[in-house]
Amino acid sequence: MNLVNGLDNYKADSEWWNLTLTIERSAVEVVELISRYGDRPNGAALGAARFLLIKIEEWKAMCLKDQMVNAEKNSEEAVWDAFRGALSASNDLEAILSIMQLKGFGSSHDFSDEGGGRKAAHVSAIDS
């Protein structure tokens, strides 16, 4: 199987393909909203950013609801700030670190008890 075959197989599963398209459309909308509102988002803009984060976690967890517990713990403001920080970052590392501030995407609720360090990121929908 090559990359094109893999994409065709993925598209054949309409549930996952539709979720991917939803995420892509939502991401475009959030980028436009961040450009428009900057550090003064309205409620609808905040909700759109949080919706995107929840959908990304759903995709990341492949809809295993028991693994979808952390993204929803982030406030709308924290989600907005993380996405805005990623978009305004001057390099990839800054962009990744901005998103890693969010629960479920690198942040851990207990890392402050460990001397202020950051736990290593792992590919999982659940923080340890």
**Percent with pLDDT over 70 in the chain:** 79
Using the structure block, give the residue that is written with the tokens 């907005």: 80
pLDDT score recorded for residue 68: 73
Neighbour tally for 21: CB within 10 Å: 11
Residue predicted with more confidence, 41 or 14: 41
pLDDT score recorded for residue 61: 81
Beta bridge partners, 110, equal none
Digit-coded pLDDT (tens) for 38-80: 999 999 999 999 999 999 998 888 766 677 778 889 999 999 9
pTM: 0.75
Position 17 confidence tier, pLDDT thresholds 50, 70, 90: confident
